[in-house]
Amino acid sequence: MPAPVPGAVPPLIGLQIIRWFPSTWIPPRRSTHLAARGRMKSTHLRTFLAVATVGSFSAAARRVHVSQSTASLHVKELEADVGVQLLDRTRDGVVPTAAGRVMMRYAHQLLGLEREAVTDVRAHADLAVDALHVAASTVLGDVHLPPVLAAFANAWPNVQVAMRVTGSAAALTALRLGDVEVAFLGQRPPGDDLVVRSLADDEMVMVAASSMPAPDASNLRWVARELGSASRSSVASLIPDGCRPVVTVGSAEGVRQCVLEGVGVAFMSRVAVANDLAARRLRVVPWPGTPLRRSLVVARLAAVAPSIAATAFIELACERMAAPRRSAAS
């Protein structure tokens, strides 16, 4: 029998240790698996968030700029890393499991922390200017936010703001995907994953070209915003059943120009057409349910701590957009 090696633990004693202290035992398969796979990758987290948010591998792949097969591989590897299924593939699309919803919250936190780390390190190294990415609905982006952008640029000259102007639904999706840090929306969104603050009240009215005759409810020539726009969804109940828009336009300015050309009537934010109403190029048309009041809001992800720049931008927007209401009431 070979002599025992000094310091070696006999096999039997090793087995006894495992039995005596089961809470300290990590199954070899899991330990080996994690060592081989490595830690979760931010690219996998971004792909998973995109799929869980839009409900489609193909649409998510386009958003994160990878092939559909790569997106599927990212999710499979992430599921392998955490050891549970994160997504359910159903006939109606891809939805997160209960574990997947928890993973979404942590993915937002991890990716937000990654962005915060890069920003903080670059700031201490006096490198390139910081960047703040925001999304806004067209009424907010075209009408309300330009004065806020000007004031912010003067107060924060080292922060470069990149603002995408789109529909409220697309802005909200960009926020939940982590593409932007702040979203300005034309209506209050559902969901407990957001921190939402009211900015100002807005009035939706029906407008027509001054030379256009009064619209006929039985044959309404209606210029509409695209599906997913808060402006369109907020007035959906005011449209007669079966009435289809004569034309659909993807921006408030496009709708305004169509109305000025006499294409039809439209429901628009009063502030967006204030100059046209004052110059009598457009007129307000009485319509049941109007004026329709709605709340313009700003949202951020609850799971992600906002950057200093984002906090400052939100506070400035709230202050500037509330100022006209205070002066009107005084």
Question: All domains of the chain, ordered by start, with CATH?
Answer: 12-112 (1.10.10.10), 126-200+295-329 (3.40.190.10), 202-293 (3.40.190.10)
Pairing of strands 130-137, 182-185: parallel
How does 4-31 read in b/e, with b if 16+ C-beta sit within 10 Å? eeeeeeeeeeeeeeeeeeeeeeeeeeee
Query: Which residue's structure tokens are 């928890």?
Result: 102
Per-residue pLDDT of the chain (330 residues; tens, 9 = 90+): 555 555 554 444 444 433 333 444 344 344 344 434 457 788 888 888 888 888 888 888 888 888 888 888 899 889 888 888 999 988 888 999 999 888 888 888 888 778 777 766 766 555 445 789 999 999 999 999 999 999 999 998 888 899 999 989 899 989 988 889 999 999 999 888 899 999 999 999 999 999 888 887 777 889 999 888 888 888 988 988 888 899 999 888 999 999 999 999 999 999 999 999 999 999 999 999 999 999 999 999 988 888 888 999 999 999 999 854 433 333
Q: What pTM does this model have? A: 0.65
